[in-house]
A and B are shown apart, each in its own frame.
Chain A
Amino acid sequence: MTTTIPEDDAAIGTAAVPVQRAVRMRPGARHLIVAALVAVAFVIPFFAKSFVTFQLTEVLIYGLAILGLNLLTGFNGQFSLGHSAFYGIGAYTAAILIHNYEISYLWTIPAAGGVCFVIGFLFGLPALRLQNLYLALATFALATAMPQILKFHALEGWTGGVQGLVVDQPDAPDFLSMIDSDQWLYYFTLIIVLAMFACAASLIRSRTGRAIMAIRDNPIAAAAMGINNSLYKTLTFGVSALYTGVAGALGALAIGFVAPDSFTIFLSISLLVGLVIGGVGSIPGCLVGGLFVLYVPNIANALSTGLAGAIYGVILLIVIFVMPAGAAGFVRLAVARMSRWRRASPEGR
């Protein structure tokens, strides 16, 4: 029987991220739902206004960034408040390659992913020594440092200093001339996001995914079973940074410029909020999180400009009270209740 004295970080151990199993459905149902949603996603730009398409692009981008955070915090149990730094690095990589070196935007995506993977991996090495709260502070430090580093005068030749860099938006390729650049950006983002979500889902279902989750649930037992904790933890850090970095690069392409003050600790906090609202440890939940992060601040602003922050806070509190485990947890609870109800009714209750 485990007895832990709740002091410092011991209490914020495995309780931080509860084990979550995928929602149980009929085998074909899940694939049908995903296929239907993907089909809808492909068709929307033809019916929606240009601005809505742009917003949906941003939802996809935030969803991808939150997926990166989810891989690290939700599936591996390593707390990170620093993902705004990786998002920023990805965005600046793309911007610098396009602005200073005139490289096609297609190559910036893998480049941003690669750079962020290396940096994430390197950050993961010292992170091995820090637990929970202290890791949170170290990542907090990274996130706070990033805007300062980006504004640093010695790097101004590359980063453009305080003003940042302008990124030309990519045009649709010639054989697809009937769609405009907003729609092309949407499809480009959609294809990349779908591919990366599929990779993440497949990673989680594999042996590696089980090892990653084992480390989250009980690091000592995982080590006893022969899992190389250090290797998996640093690799997960790298992969998580890769995902968020690619999201950053896509973000730079979508918005059209990068500036140091877009990548502050508040972005990290938004990603964290999105993660929790969508459901920690749930891959589809990341998109729900992305929707929340994009739309709710706008809704709060529309309701009252002066008290926008207060309304946002109240909405956040209500959502947390009603759905403490996030949207994914809520869906799981609802499905479980419905199947219990369906099983109970033949008995005449």
Chain B
Amino acid sequence: MELLLQQVMAGLANGAIYACMALAVVMIFQAIDHLNFAQGEMAMFSTFIAWQLIAWGAPYWVAFAAAVVISFIAGVLIDRVLFRPVQKAPILSQLVAFIALFSILNSSAGQIWDYTIKTFPTPFGHTPLLGSLVDTHEAGMIGVTLLLLALLYAFFRGTRLGLAMRAAAANPESARLVGIRIGWMTALGWGMAAAIGSVAGMLIAPVVFLEPNMMIGVLLYGFAGAVLGGLSSPAGAVLGGFAVGVLENLAGTFIPYVGRELKLTLALIMIVIVLMFRPSGLFGRSVVSRV
């Protein structure tokens, strides 16, 4: 029982990482209807920018805020410059554009900051809480993720801009007819996703250590969590991220013989099984379309 609780808490701590990533993935999915393969690399790049600012002497929260703002602007720019021209292209071509972005960001980060592992500071410290089940940083991660979720909920449900973004994603033609600038809504969505991604990166870096390839594993789990929870539901994505973290840990500990080596495989199999029974994810809305 003690072991189960421990593994669940450890899973939740890992899950907070995946949940953060899943939130960013769903954010951009709501804006552009595609999964952004370069999301992890964008988050990684933002974290490096924050690290550089700290290395130049800025205090942590200044660097944090600056990285978030820079990421937002960069997200908007990437949308305007890179994705506007390929908007009319088939989806597979757009996918290749994402892959290109991934490659560019990963390689540039490696060239500018090289591949040695760096430590990234955390504002929460590492003191153990609840009798060494979690430490303060992990609790901080969970807290920040939930706070982000609440802020996003308030934004989308309570503000005109949020409503406009939802309208632009749900029905672009009608939204255009009522005067909403679709192009800028998409760019805003990109900017927000980049900003959320940067927060995720800066939370994850103290745990997995900062290096250009740190996000590749996390991104897969983030996708899995987002899809599990349902791509149309940010809360679902966060829950999905936590679920993936817990599932993976429990699979690793309790399934004999195969557990440790095939952790990732088992987690993914479980997600695929869930998808077979609920094709839109646990909390996703199934779309009814007229043909």
Contacts and interface: CB of A to CB of B under 8 A. Distances in A.
Q: Do chains A and B interact in one complex? A: yes
Interface of A: 2-12, 15-18, 73, 126, 129-131, 133-134, 136-138, 140-141, 144-145, 148-149, 151-154, 220, 269, 272-273, 275-277, 280, 306-314, 316-317, 320-321, 324-326
B265 A145 contact: yes
A129 B276 contact: yes
B279 interface: yes
A2 to B, nearest CB: 6
21 contacts: A4-B287, A7-B287, A8-B231, A15-B91, A16-B92, A130-B276, A130-B279, A131-B279, A137-B224, A140-B220, A141-B268, A148-B261, A151-B261, A152-B261, A272-B96, A272-B99, A307-B111, A309-B106, A309-B107, A316-B99, A324-B86
A17 B96 contact: no
Contacts of A136: 35
B290 interface: yes
Contacts of B170: 5-7
B92 A152 contact: no
Contacts of A15: 90-91
B104 A314 contact: yes
Main secondary structure of the interface of A (DSSP, over half): helix
Contact of B289 (A10, A129, A306, A309): A10
Contact of A152 (B82, B85, B262): B262
Interface string B212-229: 000000001001100100
Contacts of A320: 86, 89, 93, 96-97, 100
Q: Which of B35, B89, B100, B106 has the most CB of A within 10 A?
A: B100
B176 interface: no
A12 B279 contact: no
A312 B107 CA distance: 10
Contact of B232 (A8, A306, A314): A8
Given A5-B287, A144-B268, A152-B261, A134 B96 contact: no
A273 B95 CA distance: 9
A222 B101 CA distance: 37
Contact of A148 (B86, B97, B110, B264): B264
A307 B89 CA distance: 27
